[in-house]
Structure 1
Amino acid sequence: MRTSFVAGNWKLNGNQASISALVANINAGLESLNQTTVAVCAPCVYVPLVHTLTQNSTLKLGAQNVSNYETGAYTGEVSAPMLKEFGCEYVIIGHSERRALFGESDEICAQKFVRAQQAGLTPIFCVGETLTEREANQTEAVISRQLQALLAIIDVQDLVNSVVAYEPIWAIGTGKTATPEQAQAVHAYIRQMIANLNKSVAEKLQILYGGSVKGSNAAKLFAMPDIDGGLIGGAALNADEFLTICRAGNKA
């Protein structure tokens, strides 16, 4: 039986004061959410602060990126063991903004997944297509390519200790959202792709939807049989909105 999972991706936002207030307000609303795991993925420099703020909370801590190297002369990089040492349990890998803006290939994203798991972190592995690719009926081909690059270097059993997030790039920060049926179709495709390799792993794998999820549409999205929660962007910066989304996961 899969449980719901909602993770907030704060992206390049926040300062000490705003983050402290945001975490305090989220913590205050978590008591009733006993059926949903809730995490926030902070900018790297604020990871120690959020770790301190969540010491007596069920709120989980994640990072937004990780290096595909563990140690060495890689100026500016942050390794998985470093994140683990400062309390991270999760890390987002392969977010569309990393792929599109910073040139992270399918192969690099796969390497980061391995590094994260080696350090004891749970990867939130992102896949998704552009509007051009969707209109050309290439959604499944793109998802397959991104996942096959990962499956080429891991055992399918390793997916049990991970999360997959489907992010239609055309719905991120645009206000557009895949309909529940559109999102469900892709989630079902992902689960079936894994089931073809290992049915037990597919049944256990949490697959999140990410793409302009709001309090107003979360319940319908999370009610779909293969959508296990959400990777939340802008709405995660507002505690009330974020908690509304988390409650939708709790009911689902």
Structure 2
Amino acid sequence: RKFLRVLPLPSENWSDLVEEWCCHPDPFARSSLHPKHGDCFLGDTFFLLNSGNESHKSKENTRVICKRCETMLGEAASSGTIKYYFTEVIIQPAEESFSPTPRSQFVQSVVAQCLLELSSAKSTFRFTIKGDNGKTYILIWLLNSDTLLVESLGSSSYRSDFTLFEDILTPSYGSVGTWNAVKVLYQPCIQCRNKELADAWEDDMGVHPLKFPSETCLELLLILGLSTTSLPPSLRCMNSFQVRNSFCFSKK
């Protein structure tokens, strides 16, 4: 599919900013932005496309499901707009050869890139990970984004123990693997855990929400937990938050 225009969407509270900064009412302040055919609108965790087919329009928002694996890819709106989440779809030039990426590597790379871009653009370092069902799954506090992670595969026993990155980067035996990473603190919020803190973050203007499919939120929580258990017990917590040593990603 060829895109004629690829445009970033304004922030979610753009209509409120219009009311604060404009001295006259804006008739478009409360209207939605819908892509036309050939457009691609980029949000924080998703992109919007025009379905290009009037028959695909639905009366209410519906989930877009992959026919092969039955995974939720996004949502279809009644306006003919389809929302796809970055964590569920890979977009690359048609002339490039496709090489499969392990799921865990892809998820943490996408999330890390979101954290990097938002922290740089908005000076935001605290994030809530929300599902498409509206529930908060994880609280994330970004510590730094300039970490270089180095792994030396000196023995086969080490390789079998370090399970988190086993399917992410597999340099040959005895070699050194390096990749960029971000360091974060996190708190799980499933099963009403840390509810008071989650409610406080919900009302905090300095916290930015990130929305993903609920299944992906649980995947991300599992990735975080596996990383925490790979650390020595004395390094797993910091000020009641659990430590995630790194989110691996590739710089653009």
Higher share in helix = 1
| Higher RCO (C-alpha under 8 Å, 6+ residues apart) | 1
Q: Normalised by the size of structure 1, how large is the TM-score?
A: 0.24
Q: Normalised by the size of structure 2, how large is the TM-score?
A: 0.24
Higher share in strand = 2
